[in-house]
Chain A
């Protein structure tokens, strides 16, 4: 009988059902976001052909260029072609530099990913730590301090925080470098030194939200009857807090992390500007000013893909933490 308990066919089928439902949600969302991407970029008034043809271009030359770029095709067809190529790793070629978009992005995206992931780790550590601390003695000194700090962190614009950090840590104290990026291949220590300020900047507001959310849900859970039940069974407070309450209380905070992935990636763009990092943000802004559509599309697509992957991960985690809860 014990063996029957160890292998659980019900859990397996439940997991499969969950995977099916996730897929059913994932595909439409992915399609729609790519559609939005395409719509916003490729369907906007576009005079690229005219620009490329220059002042001396004849109408015929412009028409030829339009055909070469495929602008004269109906948009559903253009969308499908574009998406099809993208799924095969071909994001097109920059209108102006002729460099394949995939190459440009592949060179630069790891920078943003590094910042975002490092920031995520910091945010989780600070956020969960802060939230737990605040919840352990509600309304105590620590709690109020953390709550106040959190409010502050959520009000400060990231770029200002970055500037302040630079002033303090790079100009006055000279602990961390103010600008520049060092790839991990050139030494983890150097990479980390350059990553700390940008990541800390991005992590701060996210940590604040996580801490706040965790505090609320932990306090709510602590009021539940099963906590009384566990106490009456004679479990230690530590066991109750970490094995039981946290499992239920962490879920909203984990969901929050998922919701903040887009803003982490967006913030990376800002951090690039401040800390002079060679990421896709700079690439995208230049491309925006030049109407270099394929680059923009590529950047958006890659960003969305990362967000979708993170959403899937978060959903899986939530499903494991709280198997009973139906997702909206």
Chain B
């Protein structure tokens, strides 16, 4: 039993060398776990109201107090993790699939097609996600799927551009040229050789995209889009907290901390992965150059991550 655990732990240990990163990974894992288990671990029913005990502060029976309807905040927080997190995952998947594949394929397009596709991606980037989500809700009704699609579609550009850039970078490598000379078709070469080179960067972008999606989904929930009350989600909880800010000013702490911690952890992992990739790429050639200072290099192109 122990032998089975050691190898993966070793790998994780090597991938996450610092305490800082281990904490970040731990937070993400923890949040995902909470989301998966949901109501199984919540002390109370998240929907159960108790009009006798509204706006209660933290106590032994209600660790985080209760909200304006007497519902246990901790339970709502736990149950609310799933819609907040997992819908973000779905949104990222939409963006990834919709962006990465065309992104890689885009190097094969003819000039004209490429131009049109690029303009399409540019157009997606000009629309603010929140306004877009409002429009989708207007057209297709209010609900989580609509919100997820709105955020997901608008994340396509970042995946598209990153994968396209990576493909262009690697497609001009010598071994790719050699492969095509040997008769391999271009799509085959892309699939077989270039794809795996793009995967690490894709990982970096996905992590920060997840963070962004969590923020986006909660933002929409805050506005009342994407969740139907009384189902809790972190964003809608904050909306309620705002309404009752004067009665319970510190109730707003909990969902906010939950979101911030998750997003921070995801960003930290994404940044670290990026720094790691950058260090690998900058192997000094020759005697003169020393490796440039790459502490905390930051994101691939932060702009790509937080559109």
Contacts and interface: CB of A to CB of B under 8 A. Distances in A.
Contact of B129 (A160, A166, A263): A263
Interface stretch (B36-44, B174-182, B215-223): B215-223
Contacts, number: 208
Interface string B189-233: 000000000000000000000010001001100111100000000
A209 B135 contact: no
Contact of A259 (B125, B127, B264, B268): B125
Interface in B123-151: 123-132, 134-140, 142
A303 B242 CA distance: 27
B307 interface: yes
B116 A28 contact: yes
B136 A40 contact: yes
Residue with the greatest number of chain A CB neighbours at <10 A, chosen from B138, B139, B259, B268: B138
A15 interface: no
Contact of B128 (A30, A262, A288): A262
Residue with the greatest number of chain B CB neighbours at <10 A, chosen from A155, A270, A300, A308: A155
Contacts of B259: 156-157, 160
B238 A213 contact: no
Contact of A300 (B131, B142, B222, B241): B131
A212 B302 contact: yes
B188 interface: no
B51 interface: no
A114 interface: no
B119 A25 contact: yes
B123 A157 contact: no
B295 A139 contact: yes
Contact of B120 (A32, A40, A166, A270): A32
B57 interface: no
Given A32-B120, A45-B140, A157 B134 contact: no
Interface stretch (B64-72, B73-81, B245-253): B245-253
A258 B297 CA distance: 21
B264 A139 contact: no
Interface string B285-300: 0000000110111110
A219 B268 contact: no
B249 A273 contact: no
A160 B238 contact: yes
Contacts of A43: 139
B249 A36 contact: no
Nearest to A166: B245
A246 interface: no
A307 B261 CA distance: 31
A262 B127 contact: yes
Contact of B135 (A41, A216, A307): A41
Residue with the greatest number of chain A CB neighbours at <10 A, chosen from B126, B242, B298, B306: B126
Contacts of A151: 264, 267-268, 271
Given A44-B140, A292-B138, A29 B119 contact: yes
A212 B252 CA distance: 29
Contact of A171 (B249, B264, B299): B249
A167 B245 contact: yes
Nearest to B266: A155
Nearest to A34: B123
A33 B132 CA distance: 11
A263 B132 CA distance: 11
A262 B238 contact: no
B94 interface: no
Nearest to B222: A159
A288 to B, nearest CB: 4
Interface in B85-99: none
B281 interface: no
A163 B260 contact: no
Interface string A236-263: 0000000000000000100110011011
A40 B146 CA distance: 11
Interface in B243-277: 245-246, 249, 252, 255-256, 259-261, 263-264, 267-268, 271
B237 to A, nearest CB: 11
Contact of B223 (A30, A160, A260, A270): A270
A37 interface: yes
Nearest to A212: B298
B50 interface: no
B122 interface: yes
Given A25-B119, A259-B303, A269-B130, 20 more contacts: A25-B122, A28-B116, A32-B123, A36-B124, A37-B135, A156-B256, A157-B256, A158-B219, A167-B252, A171-B246, A209-B302, A213-B301, A213-B302, A252-B303, A260-B307, A263-B306, A273-B222, A287-B138, A288-B142, A297-B135
Interface of B: 115-116, 119-120, 122-132, 134-140, 142, 211, 215, 218-219, 222-225, 235, 238-239, 241-242, 245-246, 249, 252, 255-256, 259-261, 263-264, 267-268, 271, 292-293, 295-299, 301-304, 306-307
5 contacts: A159-B219, A273-B239, A288-B142, A299-B134, A304-B127
Interface of A: 25, 28-30, 32-33, 35-37, 40-46, 138-139, 147, 151-152, 154-160, 163-164, 166-167, 171, 205, 209, 212-213, 215-216, 219-220, 223, 252, 255-256, 259-260, 262-263, 265-267, 269-270, 273-274, 281, 284-285, 287-289, 291-293, 296-297, 299-300, 303-304, 307-308, 311
